[in-house]
Amino acid sequence: MSLKLGSKNGAEVHKEHSKNFKNTKISDNAIESLKTKFDKAFDSGKHNVFTSSVLSYLKEIDCPIAGIRCLGLGSLESEIYPLHQLCLLKQIVDQLSTKKDIVVSLWDPIFTVLDKEFIQSKLHYVVEEKPSFENDRNDILYYMPHFPIEEIEKILVNCEPLLLLTNDLQAYSLRLSSWKFLSLYPICASISFLSETENLANDDSQKAPLVSSSVGDFHFVKKKHRNRRKKGITPVLPKKQDYNLDTKYFIKACVKRFPYDTHSTLEYSLTDICFIKLTRRSTDKISN
């Protein structure tokens, strides 16, 4: 199954990088220098609010995660944000590895030779040379911090993941009109719609309260006065959107958001990141 990520597909970008770095030798000093930067970022992020909340939540829900796929992290040697995002990945892996071995793979077409050497030699994670995708696994966590929504949509279409730690899709519903969101990114929009529906159903504060009084054993509910419609004016109601939910590979979407400090460089690297858990639909019930 092929998947085009970014302006060029993975094979094309990898071919270019292989050509550019074919004869490049990475010195031990360069790797150790990057490791020093990573260790410093890792130590500083051990007890921040966002990371602690993510780790506590994963421990609480006890999801059966057998592997993690990290996509679109960015270059570690050129930016500080990918370094912080990698630190979170390692903390998650360290916590999950106390129970069983976790297979971790990373892919990004802009990884440099130094990035790859550091990830493989110091963290012992797999670096995918070409992106490969399968949609028959329910126990893989897709870690995609600040991944473009176009690519998230493609991952959802091609891989059908159930567990994601990625951008809060609800944020896009605030930036785009509901019609445009649905037309451009139907899977993402459906997840956003289902998750918000689930949140409203479970949030008593969102339910309309009854204004009541009681006398003895009798309870009376007072009706609120409605504004009367002016004569001759017909309200124009928006057409109801059809998400075609019966065609989606999931029937339920739960989203967990985490607190973070926007004034922290570390946590700014993880803004608008949330955990998404989808419940797969039985294959024999998917409509065509």
φ and ψ of 48, to 5 deg: -75, 160
Angle in degrees, 0-180, between the axes of helices 186-202 and 149-159, rounded to the nearest 10 = 90
The SS3 assignment for 283 reads: helix
**Roughly how many angstroms between the first and final C-alpha of the chain, as a whole number?**
20
d(CA 267, CA 146): 13
For 239, counting Cβ atoms within 10 Å of its Cβ (0-12 exposed, 13-18 middle, 19+ buried), the class is exposed
pLDDT at 287: 47
| Tokens, residue 269 | 């690297």
- Taking only Cα atoms into account, the Rg of the chain, rounded to an integer number of angstroms, comes to 23
Name the residue ranges covered by the structural domains of the chain. Answer: 10-200+244-285
pLDDT at 217: 40
pLDDT at 81: 92
pLDDT at 256: 95
| Tokens, residue 74 | 């960015």
The one-digit pLDDT tens for each residue of the chain (288 residues) are 334 444 333 334 344 444 444 456 788 999 999 999 999 999 988 888 899 999 999 999 878 899 999 999 999 998 899 999 999 999 999 999 988 899 999 999 999 999 999 999 999 999 998 877 666 678 999 999 999 999 999 999 999 999 999 999 999 988 899 999 999 999 999 999 999 887 666 655 444 333 333 333 433 344 455 555 556 665 554 567 889 999 999 999 999 999 877 666 666 788 889 999 999 998 754 544
φ and ψ of 95, to 5 deg: -70, -45
d(CA 268, CA 260): 8
C-alpha distances in angstroms, 236 versus 42, 129, 179, 228, 286?
Answer: 55, 54, 17, 16, 34
d(CA 130, CA 109): 9
Q: Which CATH architecture has domain 10-200+244-285?
A: 3-Layer(aba) Sandwich (3.40)
